[in-house]
Amino acid sequence: MAHAASPGESSANPDLSKPIDVKKLRKGWHASPKEEYDYWVPDADIEGSVPLDLKGTFLRNGPGLLEVYGTKLKHPIDGDGMVVALTFIEGRVHLRAKFVATKERLEEQRERKLIYRGQMGTNPNSAVRDTAVLMKNFLTLSWPTLRFRNPSNTNVFYWGGKILTVYETKYPHCLDPHTLETLGEETLNGALTLKAFAAHFRLDMRNKRLVCFGVVPGVGSRKPSLAIYEFDDKWNLMQYQMHHIDGLNYAHDFLLLRDYYVFHMTPFADMTFTAGLKVFAGLSSPGELMKYYSHMPSRFVVIPRHKGAAHQDIKLLNTEPCHIFHFGNAVQKDNDTITFNAVCLGPKFNMTFEREMWLSNASVAPGNMYKFTLDLSKSTCVRSKDPADPANVEYPTVHPYRHGLSTSRYSYLMSSDRTGYKLPYRDVVKHDLKGGTRQVWYSQGCVGEPVFVPRLGWASIDLGDDDDGYVVVQLYIPEKHITEFAVLDAKHVDQGPLARIKLKHHILYGFHGTSTPEVFVGDSHVPKASAKL
């Protein structure tokens, strides 16, 4: 591996007491004038050296705008997705950024106005108008309809020749890997029976499987629905399960193990008939209704992975009231014991766009990572007394090809590891599930989700250590209103970046990202690197 860049602006030890300007920080959510990009980053704009054995594509999705023709969106989660593809090859870097051309985005472009509602409260209509429409439906005995936008902005990944962008309440979209052009909604040959595709997936590389799921909440007498899919690398559906589990109204992430799937049943989702009326009347939205309901259970749902698991085979294990968006490492020690990390949000959590800085009220309900042990033989769940990491953390990522294996060990998290505040996320923490040790990189700006890139690509499932690779992270520099991408040595995160890719413009804060060893720009088009002065 290459060595860390020399100290200076990229020093691994910045002044931690230096305050950050919140007004400048908010500009990280402001769209850039040009918006879409496609170019090779000049060598002169790369501080340090991109390792020659870093080859592949870093993909990241997130909102590319926070207003639609003059109408400000209420929350970033309502913003149209923009995919960033950062390609590494022969020490060079290529950047491509493009909006996901959903049918909702295209229609609003034609009409030049906001047309569709957002799951987080954005509404082109007034509550008075929506209430009047709802009353008309009651009088005419017709079922009301809602038109929610599908921004397809939450995650993006490559598998089986396709790039998919996802937004968990709708179909995913398929993109051309070489151009990021949107090819259209993706039903995966009709396999997505719930018409929903969750934000997170897992890879079982020993069996060459993509494992993903979808959830539709229960409303009234209708029970929730959970569909679990396993596809091979040709997109053949190799396994499918459908379950209707009372209380499992929402799931964003899950654990994949040799013999089990594990979901969290959150007490923060309860779609009652009254709540549904509020949504139809424009008085609330699904995201605004995400809050703690003391009568709802907090449980882990453990589903046998073997085909045809019956309802009686599913175990429901109670845990402390919390909401879990994201899981870290997971290990199945034997047939009956599962150990894992998860970021837990306490009972005060809600989805307020806090100070226009973060997606939830993290200052009030910070993300704390806890260690859990499930004993299936005894039907027990034990959560660690204290957090596994002391900082406010979110967006844990792990080795993408070793999740759930005995070799799965390290998590990389965006963090607020500085004394005196819980926001913004400025640091990257490397956490060791087995040893409990940690490393921290204190950045000069604000970080996004750190993505682990295995140095040995697809072969890394069996070769190299669990941290044999690099961590790529998007970095916003508020003082300059520009975006950078930092490349860290995953073994020595605390030593700072090996390379900082300094853009001359800004890209909005992102949500989730992934990596693939595949390269889509073509080796023959790689320009020769010019000598650095």
Q: What is the pLDDT of residue 312?
A: 84
Binding residues for Fe cation: 200, 252, 326, 512
Conformational region of residue 523, where left means phi above 0, alpha means psi within -120 to 50, and beta covers everything else: alpha
- Encode burial over 214-241: b for 16+ CB neighbours within 10 A, e otherwise: bbbbbeeeebbbbbbbbbeeebeebbeb
Task: Tell me the residue length of the chain.
Answer: 533
Predicted confidence at residue 419, as pLDDT, reads 77
> Considering the domain boundaries, does residue 174 fall inside one?
yes
Q: Which amino acid is at 81?
A: G
CA 31 to chain centre: 20
- Whole-number pLDDT of residue 31: 80
Query: What is the number of domains present in the chain?
Result: 1
Residue 60 dihedral angles phi and psi, to the nearest 5°: -145, 140
* CATH number, domain with residue 472: 2.120.10.30
What does the alpha-carbon distance between residue 351 and residue 358 come to, in Å, rounded to a whole number? 9
Distances (CA, A) of 410 to 306, 432, 437, 465: 27, 5, 10, 10
Q: What is the pLDDT of residue 274?
A: 82
For residue 429, the model assigns a pLDDT of: 97
Predicted pLDDT at 219: 78
Give the pair of three-digit tokens for residue 375: 């004993």
User: Distance (Å, rounded) from C-alpha 9 to C-alpha 436?
Assistant: 30
Residue 464: both structure tokens together: 């190299």
In a domain, 420, yes or no: yes
CA 199, CA 242: separation in Å to the nearest integer?
A: 18
- With respect to residue 13, please indicate whether it lies within any of the assigned structural domains: no
Complete DSSP assignment for 214-275: EEE--BTTBPPEEEEEEE-TT--EEEEEEE--TT----S--EE-SSEEEEEE-TT----HHH
From its phi and psi, is residue 385 left (phi > 0), alpha (psi between -120 and 50) or beta? alpha
List residues forming the annotated binding site: 200, 252, 326, 512
- Please tell me the pTM assigned to this model: 0.92
The SS3 assignment for 357 reads: coil
Helices first, then strands: H and E counts in the chain: 4, 33
In a domain, 530, yes or no: no
Q: What is the pLDDT of residue 146?
A: 77
pLDDT at 525: 41
User: Which one, of 322, 261, 262, lies nearest residue 297 by Cα?
Assistant: 322
Q: Distance (Å, rounded) from C-alpha 351 to C-alpha 361?
A: 6
The pLDDT of residue 150: 95
Considering the domain boundaries, does residue 533 fall inside one? no
Judge whether 305 lies within some domain. Answer: yes
Residue 117 DSSP one-character state: B
| pLDDT given for residue 136 in this prediction | 65
Structure token pair of residue 367: 């993300």
Domain membership of residue 291 (yes or no) is yes
CA–CA separation, 36 and 82 (whole Å): 8
Q: What letter would DSSP give residue 528?
A: P
In this prediction, the residues of the chain whose per-residue pLDDT falls under 50 are 1-12, 523-533
Q: What is the largest CA-CA distance in the chain?
A: 76
Tokens 């996004």 -> residue: 448
d(CA 168, CA 190): 17
DSSP helix/strand/coil, 288: coil
Strands 81-89 and 299-304: unpaired
Q: Quote the distance between the C-alpha of residue 37 and its chain's center.
A: 22
Enclosing domain of residue 123: 22-521
User: Is residue 253 a contact partner of residue 326, using CB atoms and an 8 Å limit?
Assistant: yes
Task: Concatenate the DSSP letters of all residues of 175-216 into one string.
Answer: E-TTT--EEEE--TTTT-TTS---S--EEETTTTEEEEEEEE
Question: Rounded to whole angstroms, how far apart are CA atoms 254 and 201?
Answer: 8
